[in-house]
Amino acid sequence: MPIYNKLVRDRIPEIIEQDGNKTVTRILSEDEYLLEIKHKMHEELTEYEEAAEDADQLEELADLLELVHAAAAVLGATPAELEELRAEKAAQRGGFSDRIYLVEVHDE
């Protein structure tokens, strides 16, 4: 009997049980939930880094985005509010589309 002790998507227990297996789950406190979201983000980031195919990388990015939305909700923000904050930062400081790699800064 495998022991996982990790945050899973909401329908995973249902999917496992449809295959004839039984699951043991519990609902996390808000503090535990935020901590487990962070752990899951690391797991998904590793999977993104290790994905070889573009389609696999996009799938892992979608998983990361789902976790970002979950973390934002715990912090009281909707995906739209998070996007608004992202857009404000991009307007003020730029995005990353120009591929600028800062090598060094010389003090005057």
**CB-count burial class (<10 Å; 0-12, 13-18, 19+) for 67:** buried
* Alpha carbon distance 97, 57 (integer Å): 18
The answer to whether residue 101 sits within a structural domain is no
The model's confidence at residue 62, banded by pLDDT at 50, 70 and 90, is very high
Q: Is residue 44 part of a domain?
A: yes
Residue 46 lies in a domain: yes
**Structure token digits, residue 55:** 């389609």
How many other β-carbons are positioned within 10 Å of the β-carbon of residue 23? 12
| pLDDT at 1 (0 to 100) | 79
- Please name which of 4, 26, 22, 2 lies closest in space to residue 14, comparing C-alpha atoms: 22
Q: Looking at the domain assignment, is residue 96 inside a domain?
A: no
Give tens-digit pLDDT for 13-60.
999 999 999 999 999 999 999 999 999 999 999 999 999 999 999 999
- Both tokens assigned to 54: 């573009």
Domain span at 50:
12-79
Looking at the domain assignment, is residue 21 inside a domain? yes
Residue 22's nearest CA partner among 13, 30, 33 is 13
For residues 69 and 71, what is the distance between their CA atoms, to the nearest angstrom? 5
Burial 90-99 (b: 16+ CB within 10 A, else e): eeeeeeeeee
Give the model confidence (pLDDT) of 94-105 as tens digits. 999 999 999 999
Residue 106 lies in a domain: no
DSSP state of 98: T
Within-domain flag for 103: no
Q: What's the domain count of the chain?
A: 1
